[in-house]
Amino acid sequence: MKNQDKKRILTGALIIGLICIVMVVVSAYAAELRVENNNLMTANDAIQGEIDTLNIKIKSANNVEHIEKVAKGKLGMVYPTDGECVYVTEEDQPSENFAMVIKEQAYN
Looking at residue 81, its pLDDT comes to 75
User: Which range marks the domain in which residue 18 is found?
Assistant: 1-62
Q: Note whether 17 and 57 are same-domain residues.
A: yes
Given pLDDT bands bounded at 50, 70 and 90, which one contains residue 66? Answer: confident
Q: Has this prediction a pTM greater than 0.85?
A: no
Average pLDDT, the chain: 87
Q: Is the pLDDT of residue 108 over 70?
A: no
Q: Is residue 2 part of a domain?
A: yes
List Cα–Cα distances, 1 to 6, 7, 8, 9, 29, in angstroms.
7, 10, 11, 11, 41
Q: Is residue 67 part of a domain?
A: no
Given pLDDT bands bounded at 50, 70 and 90, which one contains residue 61? Answer: confident
